[in-house]
Structure 1
Amino acid sequence: MKTKPELELGDAERMLAAARAEAERHGRAVSIAIVDDGGHLLAFARLDGASPASARIAQDKARAAALGRRETKAYEDMINGGRTAFLSAPLNGLLEGGVPVAVGGRVAGAIGVSGVKSEQDALVARAGTQSVADGSAREHFPREDSR
């Protein structure tokens, strides 16, 4: 039976705290969303002064990074490079600022940040991922009694 990495609430809270600290250090009013590998919300914060729209966009960026298993900047680069078909993709978070969290080469979740320039969003997001970069997200083993 295979195992997979899994973000736990403690991981999500550490990521949120690290990203928030980075944003506040630079005076950036952003929204921060952390999702699991299926794109489901685990933790969220909309910092004082962040626009209402940033709340939705941060979640979309996180979801796109988790489900696409790549940074959302890759999608933005493809669109800017002429692959405009991506504009019709069902995920709306195709701007830089969504970063997956990988453990042992497998995506365990992602973080999305919105509220400032895309490259600044990404820097805040990466600060969040670095807080669990040591592989602290646990390997998930199916329970014996779950059959």
Structure 2
Amino acid sequence: MRYKPVLSLADAEQILDAARREADANAWVVAIAVVDDGGHLLALRRLDGAAPMASAVARHKARSAALGRKDTRVFEDMINGGRHAYLSVPALAATMTGGLPIRVDDTVVGAVGVSGVKPDQDEQIARAGIAVLDL
């Protein structure tokens, strides 16, 4: 039997708070999603003024990062590099920059997805959220 760490709701809320602080510090209006290791939504925050679609995109970026066990930037780069068949992977719905897995040692325990600004900015916000856990 293996044992693994898991994200708690308190962890997800800390991630959202830290990510929001990063977004607010830069005047970026986004949606932020936190999922567990199976890609299931734990928490979502859509900041005032963020497009409704940003919530769905953030959730899917987080899910893709959790299930794929990689930064979604990797998937986007593969597709842009010519591996178009990767678009047909059924479980990965948002293969664009802005989703980051959360790792404890070598175990993916969840992911954060952000949508609403430029790809590097989405990723910056997600990184700030994860950093609060001090892993």
- Common topology (TM > 0.5): yes
Question: Which residue in the other structure is 1:48 paired with?
Answer: 48
Q: CA deviation at 1:14?
A: 0.4
Q: CA deviation at 1:86?
A: 1.5
Q: CA deviation at 1:93?
A: 1.2
TM-score by length of 1: 0.89
SS of aligned partner of 2:45 = strand
Q: CA deviation at 1:128?
A: 0.6
- Specify the code of the residue in structure 2 equivalent to 1:93: A
SS of aligned partner of 2:13 = helix
Deviations 1:18-64 (A, max 9, x none): 00000010011000000000001111000011111111000000000
SS of aligned partner of 1:48 = coil
Which residues of structure 2 form unaligned runs of 5+? none
Deviations 1:57-98 (A, max 9, x none): 000000000000110000000011000112222222100000
Question: Which residue in the other structure is 2:64 paired with?
Answer: 64
SS of aligned partner of 1:121 = helix
Question: Which residue in the other structure is 2:123 paired with?
Answer: 122
Alignment root-mean-square deviation, CA: 0.8
Q: 2:125 & 2:77 partners in 1: Cα distance?
A: 19
- 1:5 matches 2:21: no
For the pair shown, which has the larger CA radius of gyration, 1 or 2? 1
Aligned residues: 134
- Identical residues among aligned pairs (%): 55
Q: 1:28 & 1:65 partners in 2: Cα distance?
A: 22
SS of aligned partner of 2:5 = strand
TM-score by length of 2: 0.96
Question: Which residue in the other structure is 1:37 paired with?
Answer: 37
- Specify the code of the residue in structure 2 equivalent to 1:16: L
Q: CA deviation at 1:133?
A: 3.0
